[in-house]
Amino acid sequence: MTLRRTSLVMPEPGAQRHSTQSWQRGGRPRDERIDSEVVSAVLNALKKGGYRAVTIEGIARRVNRARSSLYRRWPSKRHLVAYAVVSEMGDNPAADTGTIEGDLEATVTTLLRAFNGPLGHALAGLVADMAQDRTLASIIRKEVLGPRRKSMREALERAQARDEVRYDFEVELLLDMLTGPFYFRALFGHAAITPQATRKIVEYVLRVIRT
């Protein structure tokens, strides 16, 4: 897939780090403190015992809330796990900074932060469970990877409109080049995820796409 000269689809203004998922139900206004406690409890359970260790009942006990209050927000534990992941990573990583370099740095900074936190320790177990649970894998792709990759594509479209980058590169491969090292290092632990490494990844990608 290569990007062509098309009208830009700009990200919605005021996009937040936390996703407003299509499956979240209406009701009382969100309590950010409770959200934070739930996300922390989910990531801790993933780290200790993988996806199987996450239950609505267990998370509700951990945050001292009624099970029904969690079910009103998240219809299944798959959706709860997806929410925890996107809360850590964000669903609109490529902030419009005005330059492609700034946009890419904003993107990888979200991965640097997320994988140096609890999510980095929980990732291996989550990926293993995704391999066995097609529904979980589908929800993660739809609610986490899909919006993030869309945000990055839009950043590349903005850069092309500014004549910062070429038009003849493979977009999907480029997105894998940009983000893949973070997942690979988080999963295998053979090298650290550092600000220095993050900067080098951006530099290498820019060499591929700049005019």
pLDDT (tens digit, 9 = 90+) per residue, 144-180?
Answer: 999 999 999 999 999 999 999 999 999 999 999 999 9
Residue 11 pLDDT > 60: no
Tens of pLDDT, residues 52-106: 899 999 999 999 999 999 999 999 999 999 999 999 999 899 989 999 999 999 9
Taking the whole predicted model, whether its pTM rises above 0.85 is answered as no
Q: Please spell the DSSP secondary structure of 71-101, one letter per residue.
A: HHH-SSHHHHHHHHHHHHH-S--S---SSHH
Residue 25 is predicted with a pLDDT of 41
CATH topology of domain 32-209: Tetracycline Repressor; domain 2 (1.10.357)
Q: For the chain, which residues make up each domain, given as ranges?
A: 32-209
- Residues 6 or more apart whose CB falls under 8 angstroms from that of 26 comprise none
H or E stretch at 108: helix 100-115
Is the pLDDT reported for residue 44 higher than 70?
yes
**pLDDT for the residue 20:** 39
